[in-house]
Amino acid sequence: MKEGVGEKSYAKNSFYQKTVLSKAKPFIEETIVQLYCKTFPQCLTIADLGCSSGPNSLFIISEILKAINAVCPKLGRSPPEFQVFLNDLPENDFNTVFKSTPHFYEKFTSDNGQEFGPCFVAGVPGSFYNRLFPTKTLDFVHSSCGLHWLSQVPQGIDNNKGNVYLARTSPSNVYEAYSEQFNRDFSVFLSMRSKEMIVGGCMVITVIGRRNLDLPSKDYRYYLEVFSKTLRDMVSEGLIEEAKLNSFNLPYYTPSIKEVQTIIQSEGSFVLDRVETFDNDWDTSEDYVNRDFVHDKIKSGELVAKGLRAVVEHIFVSHFGDSALEDLFCRYAKDVGEILAKERPQTTTLVICMTKN
Ligand SMILES: C[S@@+](CC[C@H](N)C(=O)[O-])C[C@H]1O[C@@H](n2cnc3c(N)ncnc32)[C@H](O)[C@@H]1O
C-alpha cells in the first residue's frame, strides 16, 4: 500500500475499504460480544491482520472496544483490559500507524471513560501466512480486505497474456492455478491461526469474493479487466512493452463462498458460523438515488483509479518501472469513468465468521 498521508497514499484513498469495514461492523461486533460473554477474559487479546496504515487501521478496533464497553454494564461486569496487535507485512508504513496511537488513546478514553480498559496497542510485522503469535494467545482475530492477496503469483500462468488477473480470455489453467494458490494460502492461514488462538476464540474475515463459482472473468465490468484493457491500449501505442505486460500478473484472488466453505471444512481447525455477502459500488461515495450511473464520470473515475493506485502502485513499479505510472492511472480513470457513466458495476464482499475448535 502507498505509504504516508499524502494525496496518493492509502491513508487518503481507502474509502472503498472503509465502506467494507463499516458494512461488516455489525457482524464483527456481534461476534466479539458473544465471545466476551462466553469467556469473560481478564484481558481480551485481539489481532487485526493486514492493518495497513491510515484511518482504517484502528477504526474497527475502536468500534470493537465501544461494543464491549456497551455490554459490560448490562452484565454487571467490570471491563476487561485489551491487548491489540496490528499486523501487516514488514514493508507496511507502521510509522504512520504508530503516530496515530495518541489520538486513538485519547478517543478511547473519551468514547469509553477513564474506568474502561486500559488498552495496549502493538505492531507485529510479518506475513499472516506464517506464525505471528505465541501458542493459544489470541481471543479474537479480524482481517479486512487482506486475504484476497495471495502469498505469491501462481506458478504456470505464463499463457495469461495481456491480462493482469483472471479475465474472460484467460485459459482455464490460469483459473485453476489461481484457485489452487488461494486454496493453499488460505489453508496455511487457518492452520497458523489455529495454533495461535484459544479454543472457542473467534475470527471474522472480510474478503472481496464471489457469490458463486462463476469466474469473475464472466463479469466484463470487473475492475481489473478494465485495468488490463488500459494496459493493452498503452502496449498498442508503444508506451509499455508487450512482453512486460504478458509477464505481469497480480497475486490476487476473489474466492467464491463455496471455495471458502470447502477450505474451512477440509482444514478442520474452525467451525464456520456464518458467511454474509454484500455488494459495493466501485465509487462508494456516489449517491445513486434514482439513477444507475454516476453523476460525474471524471470525478468517479479518478476516485476509483486513485483507490487502485494506492494499492497496486508498488507492485506495478517494481515490474514496469515508474515512467508509465502517471499516464496509466490517468487513462484508467477515464476508462473507468466511461463505464460508470453508463452502468453501475459492483464488487461482492464476503464476511466469514468462524470459531476455533
Ligand atoms: C487493501 S489493504 C486493507 C487494509 C485494512 N485492513 C483496511 O481495511 O483498510 C490490504 C493489506 O493487507 C496487507 N497484506 C497483504 N498480504 C499480507 C500478508 N501476507 N501478511 C500480512 N499482511 C498482508 C497489505 O500489506 C495491506 O496493508
Specify the pairing of strand 197-209 against strand 270-281. Answer: unpaired
Instruction: Give residues with Cβ within 8 angstroms of 156, minimum separation 6.
Output: 173, 177
What confidence score (pLDDT) does residue 215 get?
61
149, 185, 189, 224: residue to mutate for ligand 1 pocket, most atoms within 8 A of CB: 149
How many angstroms is it from 92 CA to the middle of ligand 1?
A: 9
Asked if pLDDT for residue 104 goes beyond 80, the answer is yes
Q: Is residue 336 part of a domain?
A: yes
Sequence-separated (6 or more) residues with CB below 8 Å from residue 332 = 226, 227, 230, 301, 305, 308
Distance 78 CA to ligand 1 centre (A): 34
**Predicted pLDDT of residue 116:** 85
Q: What is the CATH number of the domain that holds 35?
A: 3.40.50.150
Confidence band, pLDDT 50/70/90 cuts, at residue 117: confident
Q: What atom of ligand 1 comes closest to residue 129's alpha carbon? A: 19
CA distance 92 to 101: 16
pLDDT score for 167: 86
CA of 74 to the centre of ligand 1 (A): 35
Residue 25 pLDDT = 97
DSSP designation for 355: E
* Residue with the three cell numbers 461488516: 24
The predicted pLDDT at position 102 comes to 94
Q: Which residues neighbour 157 within 8 Å (Cβ) at sequence distance 6 or greater?
A: 173, 174, 177, 178, 249
Q: Which helix (H) or strand (E) holds 281?
A: strand 270-281
20-31, pLDDT tens digit by residue?
999 999 999 999
Q: Give percent of the chain above pLDDT 90.
A: 83
Quick check: is 248 in a domain?
yes
Taking the CA of residue 52 as reference, the ligand 1 atom at the shortest distance is: 27
> Quick one: average pLDDT of 194-205?
98
Whether the per-residue pLDDT at 63 is higher than 50: the answer is yes
Nine cell digits for residue 355: 470459531
Question: Sorting pLDDT into bands at 50, 70 and 90, what band is 120?
Answer: very high
Give me the number of domains the chain comprises: 1
pLDDT of 217 higher than 80: no
Mean pLDDT value of segment 192-213: 94
Q: Cell 472481496 appears where?
A: 208
Counting every residue, how long is the chain? 357
Mutate to test the pocket of ligand 1, among 87, 89, 152, 280 (most ligand atoms within 8 A of CB): 89
Q: Are 222 and 178 in contact (CB under 8 A)?
A: no
Q: Ligand 1 centre from 293 Cα, in Å?
A: 30
CA of 206, closest atom in ligand 1: 8
Q: What share of the chain is helix, strand, coil (3-state, %, to 5)?
A: 45, 20, 35
Which atom belonging to ligand 1 lies closest to the Cα atom of 54?
9
* Residue 136, domain member (yes or no): yes
8 A C-beta contact, residue 172 and residue 124: no
Q: Which residue has the cell 477450505?
A: 263
Q: Residue 304 pLDDT > 60, yes or no?
A: yes
Average pLDDT of the chain to the nearest whole number: 93
4 located within any domain: no
Residue 269 counted as domain residue = yes
Around 50, how many Cα atoms within 13 Å sit in the side-chain half-sphere? 22
Say whether pLDDT at 220 is over 50: no
In the predicted model, is pLDDT for residue 188 greater than 70? Answer: yes
Kindly report, residue by residue over 307-331, the tens digit of the pLDDT: 999 999 999 999 999 999 999 999 9
Mean of pLDDT values over 145-168: 95
Number of neighbouring beta carbons within 10 Å of residue 305:
25
Judge whether 76 lies within some domain: yes
Ligand 1 atom nearest to 91, measured from its CA: 25
Pocket of ligand 1 (CB under 6 A): 1, 14, 17, 21, 49-52, 56, 87-89, 92, 127-129, 144-146, 149, 311
Residue 161: its pLDDT value, please?
94
| pLDDT of 146 over the 50 cut | yes
Look at residue 33 and tell me if it is in a domain. yes
Question: What kind and span of H or E run contains 19?
Answer: helix 15-39
Q: What's the gap in Å between 87 CA and the centre of ligand 1? A: 8
- What average pLDDT does this structure show over 260-264? 98
Domain housing 63: 15-356
Instruction: Please tell me the predicted confidence (pLDDT) of residue 288.
Output: 80
